[in-house]
Copies of this chain bind each other. A is one copy, B any other.
Amino acid sequence: MPFARIDLLTGTSAAFRQRVGQVVYEALLAVGVPENDRFQVIQEHDEDGLIFDPSYLGIERSAGFISIQITWNEGRTTDQKRSLFHAIADGLHTELGVRREDVFINLIEVKKENWSFGNGEAQYAT
């Protein structure tokens, strides 16, 4: 169910980008997302195509900036969202050397009947 759009600047390797996706997936698992529920689009952009303020809220961002927009089900608490943010930033830093300041995350929440995982069915609808 989580569907993540990950945007970053060109200049990383395919292996790096795969590991970014893996870290995001593992952070989602840690807050209760089902195993193997992994759907992600990862896109590189030229400097012209990915724009971020270098110091909004006093956080210094670099060319290593990564934007992660996750669509998932409503119902998570603020504490669960905090845990997710921490897990993603910590994982990217620890495993890939990404600066924590460079991790931008945005969550979009939807109803559980808003997903079809194949076969034209709404697998999460009750």
Contact = CB atoms under 8 A, between A and B. Distances in A.
B55 A38 contact: no
Given A71-B108, A89-B119, A56 B82 contact: no
B48 A14 contact: yes
Main secondary structure of the interface of A (DSSP, over half): mixed
Given A78-B113, A85-B121, A122-B82, A49 B38 contact: no
Determine how many copies of this chain the complex contains.
Answer: 3
Given A42-B48, A48-B17, A104 B125 contact: no
Given A89-B116, A102-B118, A118-B61, A52 B38 contact: yes
B39 A122 contact: no
A118 B55 CA distance: 10
A34 B74 CA distance: 26
A116 B106 CA distance: 6
